[in-house]
Amino acid sequence: MSATPTPSSETQAMLESLRQAVAQTLERKKRLGQYAVFWHHNIPIAVGDDAPKSLQTQDQVKK
């Protein structure tokens, strides 16, 4: 089995930029009281106080 190649410095910079943009957007949505939708095992999951119950997992509903 071959090892995964190390991404170039340009690719790493792009990935870090995307991570920061996503983190900032999620934080802004949280501050505004909006929910966010993630995909987990090919299923959409909504997270947040106003998230539709139909998109929440049982674990989230129990919280």
The predicted structure's pLDDT at residue 56: 77
The predicted structure's pLDDT at residue 61: 45
The predicted structure's pLDDT at residue 5: 86
- pLDDT tens digits, 7-48: 999 999 999 999 999 999 999 999 999 999 989 899 999 988
The predicted structure's pLDDT at residue 59: 58
The predicted structure's pLDDT at residue 19: 97
Q: Where are the domains of the chain?
A: 9-62
- Between CA 51 and CA 18 the distance in angstroms is 24
CA angle 63, 57, 59 (to 5 degrees): 35
